[in-house]
Amino acid sequence: MKKTLVISILFVLELIIASCGGMKNIKIAPEKVSAIKKIVIIPMESPPLKLDPYISKNPPFAGYLAGISSSLVSIPDATTHLFGAYGVLFSSILILATLPETLNKTSAMEKTLDEILRNEETWKPSTVIANLVADRLSKFPYYKVIVDKEEQKYPAIQKMSNLGFYDRAKVMERWYVEENQPFDYSDYTTKDIDCIMGVGIYAYGLNAPGDLWMFIHLKVIDLKSGELLGKAVKFDTGNRVDLENLFNNNAEKLKKEVIVISQPLIEDCLNSCGLLK
Q: Is residue 246 part of a domain?
A: yes
Q: What is the pLDDT of residue 100?
A: 67
40 has a pLDDT exceeding 90:
yes
Distance of CA 6 to the CA centre of its chain: 23
Q: Is residue 196 part of a domain?
A: yes
Choose between 247 and 107: higher pLDDT: 247
Lowest mean pLDDT among 94-98, 175-179, 187-191, 217-221: 187-191
Q: Is residue 82 part of a domain?
A: no
CB 82 within 8 A of CB 11: no
CB within 8 Å of 19: residues ≥ 6 apart: 202, 215, 233, 235
3-state SS, residue 94: strand
- 129: CATH: 3.30.160
Question: Which of 6, 5, 82 is CA-nearest to residue 50?
Answer: 82
| Phi-psi group of 250: left, alpha or beta (phi > 0 → left; psi -120 to 50 → alpha; rest → beta) | left
Question: Which of 158, 195, 196 is CA-nearest to residue 174?
Answer: 158
Q: Is residue 255 part of a domain?
A: yes
CB 202 within 8 A of CB 15: yes
Q: Is residue 85 part of a domain?
A: no
Q: Is residue 73 part of a domain?
A: no
State how far the Cα of 272 lies from the Cα of 265, in Å rounded to an integer: 10
State how far the Cα of 247 lies from the Cα of 252, in Å rounded to an integer: 7
Domain span holding position 140: 2-48+123-273
* β-strand pairing of 109-110 with 144-147: unpaired
Q: Is residue 108 part of a domain?
A: no
Q: Is residue 153 part of a domain?
A: yes
157 has a pLDDT exceeding 60:
yes
Q: What's the domain count of the chain?
A: 1
* β-strand pairing of 49-51 with 93-97: parallel
Confidence label for 25 from pLDDT (cuts 50, 70 and 90): very high
Lowest mean pLDDT among 29-38, 42-51, 92-101: 92-101
Q: Which residues of 129-149 are buried (b: 16+ CB within 10 A; e: fewer)?
A: bbbbbbebbeeeeebbbebbe
